[in-house]
Amino acid sequence: MISVPLSKPQKLNGTEYSVIEMELEPLKGKDLRTIIGQFNTLYKEYVPVPTVDLRFQAMVGAYAAKMNPLDLEELDAPDYMKVCQAVRDFLLG
């Protein structure tokens, strides 16, 4: 479990969060394929390296946190970046 503490509690879709907890370790290739499909459906554009795209990182983080990926976009910018960086670091090891 990777926990990303937020700079202050934030309400996302009616739930208050002070930390975003992501279970990234159990993700499989098939999970990433599913997320890439959802990413392509949502954004309708070709991204050559999705692992370095903030939106894809947020989608992986949301999937691992069992959250709606669009909710993560409502985080304050520094907190959004912390979540994305944690996902990027995990994916790129």
pLDDT in tens, the chain (93 residues): 999 999 999 999 899 999 999 999 999 999 999 999 999 888 888 888 888 899 999 999 999 999 998 899 999 999 999 999 999 999 998
Alpha-carbon gap, residue 32 to 19, rounded angstroms: 23
Any alpha helices (H) in 8-66, and if so which ranges?
A: 29-43, 54-65
Residue 73, phi then psi, degrees to nearest 5: -65, -15
> What gap in Å lies between CA 15 and CA 27, rounded to an integer?
24
Contact 82, 62 (CB under 8 A): no
How many separate domains does the chain show? 1
pLDDT for res 44: 84
pLDDT of residue 92: 92
pLDDT at 27: 96
Range of the domain at 30: 2-92
Length of the chain counted residue by residue? 93
Predicted local confidence at residue 13, as pLDDT: 87
This prediction's pTM: 0.89
